[in-house]
């Protein structure tokens, strides 16, 4: 882009589409497991944000003459579906494609393209250090879904390497064809990762083809992962220095230069300051923060949202000669107003069914190994034991959602998903709950989920010996910003109140 065009790109809109989705689920449940209208109404009363209003037309916003739109995402981590924990869940690949298809139908003469900034694959490993079997399957389905929705560019981050290395193998059973995986600063012997790719945009609203150079970059891996990654054969170059040489390589090959990266804001700022030929940086901050778009030197810096609950929508505007003269950016909240794409919804259902089978098999193998060890002393005694001395508190607990918290995972085929079970059980990964096959007695949010292991106290029940957890800090371990964004302690506590506050 010329300097005159760059100056015009200072016109930035960083607006969120502030519409909150009503609680919904694409999973079928039996009549007996459906929450009663009263229970759902009670849950709605806990929400900080109002119920979803508006229409798909509202979400799409005004067609203000853009010539092309670049949709961007990040932090998918192998998950195709909407997380069902929040009162009003956001995200999911079926909704994302539903919105993009509606956008395309509304503006058929404008060009569209999708890119991902990194951590698109799950990196969950077992004790051996290898990817878990369910993580591999989740990632396989991510590749298929990417092809189905025609994702154009995927930046390979250090968190993607465990799985991505198999995609580069000559004999790989599954290879992306429509999505180009790129990384300029990650290398490995016998693996060829493209440092950049050049994509072209054509549309009726564009008087000429627009060439975009996408350069992939990743932050250097954290110290606790460097050894594992090195054993895989991967080496990392400094992203800032790599950007300089790669931009020199694409010079005169593209009309717009974009870095798609997985790195810290400080790195993004350095990249912009040291590279005047750079037009855009689309990044993901591993902490999950979505910083305001800002212009640094000649580059506009944008950030993708955690798990792509808010879809980045970067609009390009062309002048009379077909040159891209400016950009605007929005974040579209993927709430229940946005319809699921029917074909992608079927893909996610099929994927969930297959993943569920693998996770159940893994759980049964773990349960068998656990049973083979024989009876073992547990740190946990379950709520039924607590009831021997604390009957009133037990009776109150039985009336709350905590007492059947695991059931919702079973209705959604997530009973064996490690990303979910920790907040729906007692002592997961703390010598407590293993899985529903091995330790069913520790399912649900029981007394010890909050108060900690109770075996020692039950053996010697002395006053003051067993500490009461501090609130609300104990609560936000599970009722955090991502999984329980509506959590307000003063509204939630009365629902489960027992003993002293």
Predicted confidence (pLDDT) per residue in 50-73, tens digit: 888 899 999 999 999 999 999 999
Contacts of 494 (CB under 8 A, 6+ apart): none
Q: Would you say 187 and 233 are in contact if contact means Cβ atoms under 8 Å apart?
A: no
| pLDDT score at 13 | 44
The answer to whether residue 18 scores a pLDDT higher than 50 is no
Whole-number Å distance between alpha carbons of 387 and 392: 8
The answer to whether residue 30 scores a pLDDT higher than 80 is no
Residues in the chain: 501
Candidates 142, 112, 87, 65; CA nearest to 325 is: 65
| pLDDT score at 126 | 84
Fold of 376-496: Flavocytochrome C3; Chain A, domain 2 (1.10.1130)
Q: Work out whether the CA dihedral 56, 60, 61, 65 comes out positive or negative.
A: negative
Superfamily for the 3-340 domain: Metallo-dependent phosphatases (3.60.21.10)
State pLDDT tens for residues 79-132: 999 888 888 899 999 999 999 999 999 999 999 999 999 999 999 998 788 899
- Write down the mean pLDDT value for the chain: 89
Please report which confidence band the pLDDT of residue 39 belongs to, taking 50, 70 and 90 as the band edges. low
The answer to whether residue 154 scores a pLDDT higher than 60 is yes
Instruction: Give the lowest-confidence range in 23-32, 147-156, 188-197, 237-246.
Output: 23-32
Whole-structure pTM over 0.85, yes or no? yes
| pLDDT score at 209 | 96
Whole-number Å distance between alpha carbons of 279 and 243: 13
- How deeply is 223 buried, as exposed, middle or buried, from its count of CB atoms within 10 A (0-12, 13-18, 19+)? exposed
What is the rounded (10 degree) CA torsion for 372, 411, 359, 454?
-40
Q: Supply 271's token pair.
A: 């990249």
State pLDDT tens for residues 298-315: 999 999 999 999 999 999
The label of the residue with tokens 């250097």 reads 220
Start-end of CATH 3.60.21.10 domains in the chain: 3-340
Start-end of CATH 1.10.1130.10 domains in the chain: 376-496
| pLDDT score at 1 | 59
| pLDDT score at 41 | 63
């Amino acid at each position: 882009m010329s300097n005159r065009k760059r100056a015009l790109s200072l016109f930035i809109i960083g607006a969120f589409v502030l519409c909150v989705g009503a609680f919904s689920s694409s999973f079928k449940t039996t009549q007996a497991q459906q929450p009663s209208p009263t229970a759902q109404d009670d849950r709605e009363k806990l929400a900080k944000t109002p119920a979803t209003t508006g229409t798909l037309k509202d979400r799409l916003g005004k067609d203000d003459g853009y010539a092309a739109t670049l949709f961007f995402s990040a932090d998918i981590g192998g998950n195709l579906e909407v997380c069902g924990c929040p009162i009003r869940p956001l995200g999911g690949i079926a909704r994302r494609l539903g919105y993009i298809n509606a956008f395309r139908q509304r503006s058929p003469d404008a060009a569209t393209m999708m890119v991902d900034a990194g951590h698109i694959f799950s990196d969950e490993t077992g004790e051996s250090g290898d990817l878990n079997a369910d993580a591999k399957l989740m990632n396989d389905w991510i590749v298929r879904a990417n092809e189905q929705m025609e994702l154009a560019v995927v930046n390979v981050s250090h968190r993607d390497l465990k799985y991505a290395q198999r995609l580069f193998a000559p004999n790989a059973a599954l290879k992306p064809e429509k999505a180009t995986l790129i990384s300029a600063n990650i290398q490995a012997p016998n693996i060829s990762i493209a440092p950049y790719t050049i994509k072209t945009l054509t549309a009726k609203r564009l008087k000429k083809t627009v060439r975009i150079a996408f350069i992939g970059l990743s932050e250097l891996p954290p110290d606790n992962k460097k050894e594992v990654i090195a054993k895989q054969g991967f080496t990392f170059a400094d992203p800032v220095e790599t950007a300089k040489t790669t931009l020199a390589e694409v010079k005169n090959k593209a009309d717009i230069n974009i870095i798609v990266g997985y790195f810290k804001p400080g790195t993004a700022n350095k990249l912009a300051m040291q590279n005047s030929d750079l037009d855009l940086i689309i990044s993901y901050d591993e902490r999950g923060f979505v910083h305001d778009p800002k212009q640094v030197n000649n580059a506009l810096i944008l950030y993708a949202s955690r798990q792509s609950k808010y879809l980045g929508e970067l609009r390009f505007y062309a002048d009379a000669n077909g040159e891209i003269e400016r950009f605007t950016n929005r974040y579209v909240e993927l709430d229940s107003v946005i319809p699921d794409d029917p074909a992608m919804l079927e893909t996610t259902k099929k994927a969930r069914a297959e993943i569920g089978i693998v996770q159940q098999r893994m759980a049964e193998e773990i349960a068998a190994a656990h049973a083979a060890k024989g009876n073992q002393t547990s740190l946990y005694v379950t709520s039924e034991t607590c009831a021997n001395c604390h009957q009133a508190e037990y009776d109150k607990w039985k009336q709350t959602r905590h007492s059947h918290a695991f059931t919702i995972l079973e209705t959604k085929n997530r009973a064996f998903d490690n990303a979910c079970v920790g907040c729906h059980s007692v002592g997961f990964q703390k010598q407590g709950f293993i899985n529903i096959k091995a330790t069913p007695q520790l399912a649900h949010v029981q007394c010890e989920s909050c108060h900690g292991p109770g075996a020692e106290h039950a053996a010697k029940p002395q006053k003051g010996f067993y500490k009461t957890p501090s609130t609300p800090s104990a609560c936000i371990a599970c009722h955090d910003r991502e999984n329980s964004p509506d959590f307000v302690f003063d509204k939630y506590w009365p629902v489960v109140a027992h003993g002293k506050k």
